[in-house]
């Protein structure tokens, strides 16, 4: 069941490739069928074996191309972020360190003032100081 699900997900990701290969295969079968019907009608059966070899070779090449395309596409990322991934994107830690260097008010971290305070007091300590 898991293998079938994995196979169906790969088909879903490669539906264009599947569609174009199916169209190419149908064209090859149609041309071959027309040639076989023409050769049987005219009686010219000299190139029938060559026709079958060409048809089967083309179908084999289409299947091989599809399998190789899927195999090499698997090495690339399929999550849809390829365009974003090519650009240089900073991680959160890099953004934080670069913001600390710039020290702009708009880019400053909201909790910097709290982190830089030397002595933080609880509510209880504040109440005891007032007394």
Tokens matching residue 57 = 């070779």
Q: pTM for this structure?
A: 0.52
Output the pLDDT for position 59: 96
Q: In the prediction, which pLDDT does 9 show?
A: 72
pLDDT of residue 41: 93
pLDDT in tens, 20-30: 999 999 999 99
pLDDT the model gives residue 124: 86
Q: Given a cut of 70, is residue 37 above it in pLDDT?
A: yes
- For the segment 47-96, what is each residue's pLDDT rounded down to a tens digit? 999 999 999 999 999 999 988 887 777 665 555 555 555 556 666 666 66
Average pLDDT of the chain to the nearest whole number? 78
**Helix 2-13 vs helix 15-42: crossing angle, to nearest 10:** 80
Question: What's the token pair of residue 88?
Answer: 């240089």
More confident residue, 19 or 73: 19
């Amino acid at each position: 069941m898991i293998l079938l699900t994995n196979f169906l997900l790969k088909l879903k990701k490669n539906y264009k490739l599947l569609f174009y290969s199916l169209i190419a295969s149908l064209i090859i079968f149609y041309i071959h069928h027309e040639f076989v019907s023409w050769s049987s009608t005219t009686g010219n059966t000299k190139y029938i074996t060559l026709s079958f070899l060409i048809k089967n070779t083309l179908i084999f090449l289409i299947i091989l191309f599809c399998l190789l395309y899927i195999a090499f596409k698997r090495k690339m990322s399929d999550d849809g972020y390829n365009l974003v991934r090519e650009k240089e994107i900073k991680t959160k830690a890099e953004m934080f360190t670069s913001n600390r260097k710039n020290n702009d008010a708009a880019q400053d971290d909201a909790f910097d003032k709290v982190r830089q305070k030397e002595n933080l007091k609880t509510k209880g300590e504040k109440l005891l100081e007032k007394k």
